[in-house]
Amino acid sequence: MMNQRTLSCIVCPKECALEVSMLDKVVTYISGYSCERGRQYAHDEILCPSRIITTTVSIEGGVCKRLPVRSSSPFPKERINEWMREVKELRVKAPVQVGEVLIAGILGTGTDVISSKSVAQDQ
Amino acid sequence: MERFELAVIGGGPAGLAAALEARQNGIERIILFERERELGGILQQCVHSGFGLHLFKEELTGPEYAERFIESVRQSDIVCKTDTTVLEISGDRTVKAVNAADGFMEIGADALILATGCRERTREAIGIPGDRPAGIFTAGSAQRFMNLEGYRIGKRAVILGSGDVGLIMARRLTLEGSEVAAVVEAMPAPSGLNRNVIQCLDDFGIPLLLSHTVISTIGKERLEGVRIAQVDSRMQPIAGTESLIPCDALLVSVGLIPENELALQAGISTHEDSHGLAVDERMQTDAEGIFACGNAVSIHSLADYVTVQGRLAGRSAASFILDRRGRTELEPMYQDGRHTAK
């Protein structure tokens, strides 16, 4: 069945209006994007909407109380709550480097949970 | 009095970019003042992603974006005074500041850059009637409590105003297990970026009530609820549309105001309507040698744009300093009379 959907791109604040045409479950045509990231977003948003998820976890012995963390790449939207439950259990000890992998391949996906910040040990 | 070539006030995205750019343009003695313990300014509490799309062509969180600049500053010889409050600046470019380690200090500089950022408009500024119970926050202070201090804001929240900070906090609260009853916006359209409406509200099914406002708060010790009503085109509540939303937290996200107390004390001009510093095309204020950038000039929707403006201010300050130095080096030649027409 032919199907068309209109999306507002969320990759950047330009917010291009995207048109995605589908035949059954296959994306056949995308228009309205002005960069490659936008085209990719339109494609993924139809087939598997994903987001970069960010939160904070507690950190011991660092110069700050909370460590900001994120998913290394977009993570399936409908599993965000599972992601949050898993990440909440995380206990991190300083020092930690930005980009350091804290949970590899969370929930059997290819995305990691990484630190968003370098935190030195508190002297 | 210790002398520097350049003093930068504020260690957020604007100040960091300005200091680094001036350094790259040949300014050697730079001092940077920051009131928090860490550099990075408000970026440190913006743990969400979406920073750096323009500058780095990748999607970073606030702390990651800040760290790129902080790392460069650390590797440079820029003197950073964190945990330091600037008390006063003057038109002749002296800075009075205080911190626990150095005590009171007074420094002189050839040029100043003001990168003091902005503040949030408060509940008092928009005059919502009601008592002053615990549980009413500006969205940014709630963000700070959650993301930096690790406190829970409330179990059920209402957010007034659909500015970007409010939208982002709606998502944060939901992810952390609080319920967001509604985002209430007096205007007929959301004021934040559409991408934030989609990924912060729509993704989580949070209702956005347009053309509605909070007309009073209920609760004396702790917030118990807010009364909301629909508003007409002149923003006046329409009788008969009132309803009560039980909640224990109200987040107010109703705009940002440039923070320019230091500049005002020194008699530097601001725009009457926006409170932003009045600057020329090189980001110089009406005080010679005092430059400004970032949200202290006008409210930016993206940190990337703040960085770009900070760099411009840094370049301008550098050429001002080098230009002046050039002139003072020339002066002895003027004095020996070789350039004096006979």
> In sequence order, what DSSP letters do the residues of B150-216 get, joined into one string?
-----SEEEEES--HHHHHHHHHHHHTT-EEEEEEESSSS-SS-HHHIIIIIGGGT--EEETEEEEE
Residue A20 phi, psi (nearest 5): -120, 125
B335 CA: distance to closest CA in chain A (Å): 55
Asked if B76 and B87 touch (Cβ cutoff 8 Å), the reply is: no
Interface subset of B 191-250, CB within 8 angstroms of A: 193-195, 198-199, 203
| Chain A contact set for B54 (CB, 8 A) | 12
Decide if A54 and B148 are in contact by the 8 Å CB cutoff. no
Chain pair A-B, CB pairs under 8 angstroms: 75
Is the interface score ipTM higher than 0.85? yes
Q: What share of chain B is helix, strand, coil (3-state, %, to 5)?
A: 30, 30, 40
Q: Which two tokens stand for residue B341?
A: 């027409």
Share of chain B above pLDDT 70, in %: 96
Average pLDDT of B43-68?
94
Residue A48 has pLDDT above 90, yes or no: no
Chain segment B206-228, per-residue pLDDT in tens: 999 999 999 999 999 999 999 99
Q: Among B123-132, B167-176, B272-281, where is mean pLDDT lowest?
A: B123-132
- Residues of chain A neighbouring B64 (CB-CB closer than 8 A): 98-99, 116-117
| CA-based nearest distance B288→chain A, Å | 36
Q: How far apart (Å, rounded) are the C-alpha atoms in residues B230 and B237?
A: 6
Nearest CA in chain B to A81: B175
Q: Report chain A residues whose CB lies below 8 A from the CB of B150.
A: 56, 58, 65-66
What's the residue count for chain B?
342
Q: What is the CA radius of gyration of chain B?
A: 23
In chain B the domains, ranked by start, together with CATH numbers, are: 2-119+256-335 (3.50.50.60), 122-252 (3.50.50.60)
Give which of B14, B8, B254 is closest to B119, Cα–Cα: B254
B23: nearest Cα among B77, B88, B66: B77
User: Does CATH place domain A54-115 in 3.10.530.10?
Assistant: yes
Spatial contact of B33 and B10, defined as CB atoms under 8 Å apart: yes
Selected residue with higher pLDDT from B33 and A109: B33
Phi, psi of B149 (to 5 degrees): -95, -20
B148 to chain A: which residues are within 8 Å by CB?
64-66
B189 touches A at CB < 8 Å = no
Q: What is the pLDDT of residues B298-308, one digit of tens each?
A: 999 899 999 99
Contact B67 A13 (CB under 8 A): no
Residue B14 pLDDT > 90: yes
Cβ <8 Å between A77 and B38:
no
> How many beta carbons lie within 10 A of that of residue B234, not counting itself?
5
pLDDT (mean) for B25-29? 94
Q: List B residues 290-309 in contact with A (Cβ-Cβ < 8 A).
A: 301-302
Residue B244 carries which side chain, given as an amino acid letter?
Answer: L
Tokens describing residue B224: 């118990």
**Which amino acid belongs to residue B2?**
E
B67–A12: do the CB atoms touch at under 8 Å?
A: no
| Residue A26 confidence class, pLDDT cut points 50, 70, 90 | confident
Domain ranges of chain A: 2-47, 54-115
Q: Do the chains contact at A51 and B203, CB–CB below 8 Å? A: yes
Q: CB–CB of B175 and A84 under 8 A?
A: yes
